[in-house]
A and B are shown apart, each in its own frame.
Chain A
């Protein structure tokens, strides 16, 4: 009330200016992007200090490795290690932090401490595509499969098929993903010998030319088969159960009864009336699950010797490679944040009811 009175008292140009500022501050898009940027900044800063608080440092780990592998004395190992590392661990922490942020704004993620002369950006460029490819494909297959099976379960609820699929979904969602991955290796590759695991290691077969050829696509799919299978197996149950309950709820809605009364075909009701509405709540859950699955790739890739970014993260933590750790963590966070952002913006297209900007 008093605010409105104040703005009216202002000169005209100023009113326009304030209205614009307020409109921008209220805009869903702007607020969403600001939050995403702050999240990235927060995580980056948190990680910067966390990795430096970690016990031991890359220098010490490297000295230990030299001593145990080559039987060097501490003095020799220390002098050799010191010549390799350019980073100054004695500079004040806040100074290192400001330097890091300044570099980051210029898109410079620094150099790997262990693989001397390799920029972190190159490591990410080399390994990230494999993770995005395998995790992305796995999630999409899982989501599509889960929605299909979930709808079938809802339509045939309390039949033997529904009970069987529910049991399968409950079991696969309860067990920690990498244990299911171990079971896949033990049964598919070792006990039943369906595939030769030794040939499947890595992301591509040696000597194959990267390019948009059928041969190359077949090869990378072949190598990603088991990780993708694990992502699907560990996540599909969640989508099945969610879609089942969501569809059951939608089937009870009046507009479905009306559609039936109007004599629409079952297929049309299932896709245009039930399916479209039942899938909406799952889209939000899809976003929430992203962080978990992208993060989970670390252990899955390690298990299947898949050359992705998650396996690199584990290696860099063990070696205390500060800059690689920070770079990979940053890129994983950005991936999750961007995916969240896209889903939020995309949601309005799916559900016209929430296509409003401004206050909640």
Chain B
């Protein structure tokens, strides 16, 4: 009976359905949690702003010499920049690329951390020793300097390289955490049962252990997006990746090279992108806190 059902519905689809259902029930639970609700609203606002906003607010590209550093008004909600361009329209257009790259990098690092961490814990022996040895070394390397060196490989308009280098750098701490969690889950009866049935290491990791850690993985995924966003902004600010288009990081970079940090008039030019990234990160962290409290009732007391 059970085997028939498995044959009818492919394994992949049931995983996706499980995940969607899990996400929906997570959202419902989140809405009842105060911090989580704030984070959820913030995230939805940011997604609307950066993914729908560009179709409503056109990007202001005309240089207006007589309107440099105009303070906020109805016409320019966040004032204008060093060339008289509207800052609000740049904020609206400047988030999509950063967010997509952050999500991609976070997916990659979460995938590596979760699968290698689980493999390391389940396989044990020399595999475990090797993975942990490499992880320890990787944790010792100062991340930002390595990222700065690797950033030289990024070409203009090639976000894939950026996703790869940020994603490939950020897994070690997560891997260690996953490994210790899996070591605990490994002792439970259902894993023991799967092993007795000889279902294979792949099945045990991906069908038995990891689904039981979905909440934990989700939380880490959210934090990884926050970190990736920070890394991107840092790299762009340092000028080690080629600049292209309009995004919050490029705005900070230009505001800095044009001396907007040090002038009282240009307060809005520098603070608008800084606050955009900061608020995005705060919204995600609030969401993560909410998830953590929902998934782990012990935190609520």
Find residues 204-246 in chain B having any chain A CB closer than 8 Å to their own CB. Answer: 226, 229-230, 233-234, 237-240
The reply on B148 being an interface residue by CB < 8 A is yes
Chain A residues, Cβ within 8 Å of B144? 292, 295-296, 298-299
A38 to B139, CA, bound (A): 14
Secondary structure type dominating chain A contacts: helix
B149, B282, B284: the one within 8 Å of A325 (CB): B149
Write the chain A residue with the least CB distance to B145. Answer: A295
Q: Are A191 and B267 in contact (CB under 8 A)?
A: yes
A57 to B139, CA, bound (A): 29
Q: Are B140 and A336 in contact (CB under 8 A)?
A: yes
Total CB contacts across the A-B interface at under 8 A: 131
Q: Are A174 and B282 in contact (CB under 8 A)?
A: yes
A256 to B229, CA, bound (A): 43
Q: Are A291 and B281 in contact (CB under 8 A)?
A: no
Size range of the chain A interface in the assembly: 35 or more
Q: Are B262 and A175 in contact (CB under 8 A)?
A: no
Chain B residues, Cβ within 8 Å of A189? 262
The reply on B122 being an interface residue by CB < 8 A is no
B235 to chain A, nearest CB (A): 9
Find residues 182-209 in chain B having any chain A CB closer than 8 Å to their own CB. Answer: none
A346 to chain B, nearest CB (A): 17
Chain B residues, Cβ within 8 Å of A183? 271, 274
Chain A residues, Cβ within 8 Å of B137? 38-39, 42-43
Chain B residues, Cβ within 8 Å of A176? 229-230, 233-234, 277-278, 281
The reply on B270 being an interface residue by CB < 8 A is yes
- Residues of B in contact, count (CB < 8 Å): 44
Among A138-146, A203-211, A310-318, A348-356, the stretch in contact with B: A310-318
Q: Are B282 and A175 in contact (CB under 8 A)?
A: yes
B252 to chain A, nearest CB (A): 7
B243 to chain A, nearest CB (A): 13
Chain A residues, Cβ within 8 Å of B285? 170, 174
B139, B274, B278, B289: the one within 8 Å of A291 (CB): B139
Interface centre among A35, A174, A329 (most CB of B within 10 A): A174
A9 to B279, CA, bound (A): 71
- The chain B residues found within 8 Å of chain A, CB to CB, are 133, 136-137, 139-146, 148-153, 155, 173, 226, 229-230, 233-234, 237-240, 252, 261-264, 267, 270-271, 274, 277-278, 281-282, 284-285, 289
- The chain A residues found within 8 Å of chain B, CB to CB, are 35, 38-39, 42-43, 47, 50-51, 53-56, 170-171, 174-179, 182-183, 185-186, 189-191, 197, 288, 291-292, 294-296, 298-299, 302-303, 310, 313-314, 317-318, 320, 325, 328-329, 332-333, 336-337, 340
